[in-house]
């Protein structure tokens, strides 16, 4: 069954690539706007031999990883603290509900003024956008703690830290992992957006440069790279999630999510 699915998927992918080759060649869209697959592949091959491309890829990944790491740490710590300190949750709920939907791109003009095209501009946007994903999931997760388990731990005389470590954290972890997975995808979007719009060094900036210099196949090649990067991050985040939660019902029970 699985083999059949892989074969069908490969067929679909091949058909997609063939379509990309055929449509411009048949003149359905202008080649200048939408180059055939083979020319994009050629441009991609050129890019891969260019050291500037690897530099840009590295810059994008640095912004992504650093921003994600800061957001995850801050989100988890803030989430746990807000949940275990009495009344803090009620007191922060309205503020969180208000700040969360503010689109992070609204901060672009501010980032430009404060940091120009530095890495810090990218980080500002990435951290703001992905922090909420982690925070909200952590809050949900901590709320899910079984009161019986909590009371049991208390009656065995476990201190606050031990309760956080042995009761709260295992309960919240699946939620946190979902938050990290969402945050990883959001962080990539914002990193590339910041580069594209602000001009911070990275893949997004290369795409903007390719666009303004009419290098259409190169632009498509870079977009393909951005897509592959996103795909890798999605698959990687899922793998990490499955590893970290190997002990958990949802993974052991094998209901593929």
Partner 1 sequence: MGRLLLRLLFVVALPVVLVAVWWAASAGSTDPFWPPLRTILDTFPEVWTADRLRTDVVPSILRLLAGYATAALVGVALGTVIGSYRTVRAVCEPVLEFLRAVPPPVLVPVIMLFAGIGDGMKIVVIASGCVWPILLNTVEGVRAVDSVMLETARSYGVTGLARLRHLVLRSASPQIFAGLRQALSIGIILMVISEMFAANNGIGFTVVQFQRSFAIPDMWTGILVLGLLGFLLSVVFQLVERRVLGWYHGLRATTRRS
CA distance 234 to 222: 18
User: CB of 191: closest distance to partner 1 in angstroms?
Assistant: 8
**Binding of partner 1 by 249 (CB under 8 A):** no
Q: Does 117 bind partner 1 (CB under 8 A)?
A: no
Q: Are 125 and 107 in contact (CB under 8 A)?
A: yes
Site string for partner 1, 29-48 (x = CB under 8 A): x---xx--------------
For tokens 């019986």, the residue is 148
Distances (CA, A) of 191 to 109, 113, 120, 173, 213: 15, 17, 11, 26, 22
Q: Give the number of residues in contact with partner 1, rule: CB under 8 A.
A: 59
Which DSSP state fits 29? S
If one asks whether residue 113 binds partner 1 (CB under 8 A), the answer comes out as yes
68 or 192, CB closer to partner 1? 192
Q: Which is nearer to partner 1, 42 or 230 (CB)?
A: 230
The alpha carbon of 195 is separated from its chain's Cα centroid by a whole number of angstroms, namely: 15
Residue 91 binds partner 1 (CB under 8 A): yes
- What are the angstrom distances between the C-alpha of 190 and each of 70, 122, 173, 180? 14, 8, 25, 15
Contacting residues toward partner 1, per CB under 8 A = 4-5, 8-13, 15-16, 29, 33-34, 87, 90-95, 98, 100-110, 112-114, 185, 188-189, 192-193, 196-197, 204, 207-208, 211, 216, 219-220, 222-223, 226-231, 233-234
């Amino acid at each position: 069954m699985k083999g059949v699915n892989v074969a069908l998927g490969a067929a679909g992918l091949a058909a997609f690539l063939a379509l990309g080759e055929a449509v411009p060649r048949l003149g359905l869209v202008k080649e200048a706007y939408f180059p055939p697959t083979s020319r994009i592949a050629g441009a991609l091959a050129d890019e891969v031999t260019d050291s500037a491309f690897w530099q840009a890829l590295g810059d994008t990944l640095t912004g992504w990883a650093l921003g994600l790491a800061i957001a995850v740490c801050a989100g988890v710590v803030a989430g746990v603290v807000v949940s275990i300190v009495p009344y803090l949750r009620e007191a922060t709920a309205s503020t969180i509900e208000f700040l969360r939907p503010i689109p992070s791109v609204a901060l672009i003009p501010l980032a430009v003024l404060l940091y120009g095209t530095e890495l810090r501009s990218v980080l500002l946007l990435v951290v703001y956008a992905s922090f909420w994903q982690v925070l909200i999931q952590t809050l949900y997760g901590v709320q899910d703690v079984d009161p019986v388990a909590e009371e049991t731990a208390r009656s065995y005389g476990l201190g606050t830290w031990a309760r956080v470590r042995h009761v709260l954290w295992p309960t919240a972890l699946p939620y946190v992992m979902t938050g990290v997975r969402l945050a990883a995808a959001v962080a990539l979007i914002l990193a590339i957006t910041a580069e594209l719009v602000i001009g911070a060094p990275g893949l997004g900036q290369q795409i903007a440069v390719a666009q303004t210099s009419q290098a259409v196949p190169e632009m498509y090649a870079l977009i393909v790279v951005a897509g592959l990067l996103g795909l890798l991050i999605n698959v990687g985040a899922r793998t990490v999630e499955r590893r970290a939660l190997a002990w958990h019902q949802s993974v052991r029970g094998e209901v593929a999510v």
